[in-house]
């Protein structure tokens, strides 16, 4: 059962960065993202999970949904959201990094 409402943020021109990102991902990324969202939607306190991280400093009030794939190489994906305290989450965009890029 979902206790959260997940929304996508649309820009003035009608584009949706998170949907644009999702659409060009391969099936394994889409499946992992969907599975992570399904778990979070049934979780009361996201802050107690590894799948969510609250951002700090100049990004207070935003958070990221975290998931990763290990094959063919480690990739981490972090869709950014807001509105956690309202039980309604707005997804904005996604940051992705490969293992080599994160080592620096």
Which residue in 77, 73, 85 sits closest to 31, CA to CA?
77
Least Cα distance to 77 among 101, 60, 59, 56 occurs for: 101
- The pLDDT tens digits for 10-56 are 889 988 888 888 888 889 889 988 999 898 888 888 888 888 888 88
Mark out the alpha helices in 5-77 (DSSP H runs). 17-23, 27-41
Say which residue, 40 or 86, is predicted with more confidence: 40
pLDDT tens-digit readout, 54-77 = 888 887 777 888 888 877 665 666
pLDDT computed for residue 31 by the predictor: 92
**Contact yes or no for 22/6 (Cβ under 8 A):** no
Q: What is the mean pLDDT of the chain?
A: 76
63: three-class secondary structure by DSSP: strand
The alpha carbon dihedral of 78, 65, 72, 23 has a sign of: negative
Work out the pLDDT band at 102, boundaries 50, 70, 90.
very low
């Amino acid at each position: 059962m979902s206790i959260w409402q997940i929304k996508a943020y649309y820009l003035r021109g009608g584009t949706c960065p998170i949907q644009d990102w999702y659409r060009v991902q391969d099936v394994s990324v889409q499946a992992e993202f969907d599975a992570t969202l399904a778990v979070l939607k049934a979780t009361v306190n996201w802050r107690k999970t590894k799948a969510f991280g609250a951002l700090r400093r100049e990004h207070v009030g935003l958070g990221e949904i975290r998931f990763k794939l290990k094959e063919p190489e480690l990739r981490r994906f972090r869709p950014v959201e807001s509105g956690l305290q309202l039980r309604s989450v707005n997804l904005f965009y996604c940051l992705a990094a490969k293992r080599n890029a994160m080592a620096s």
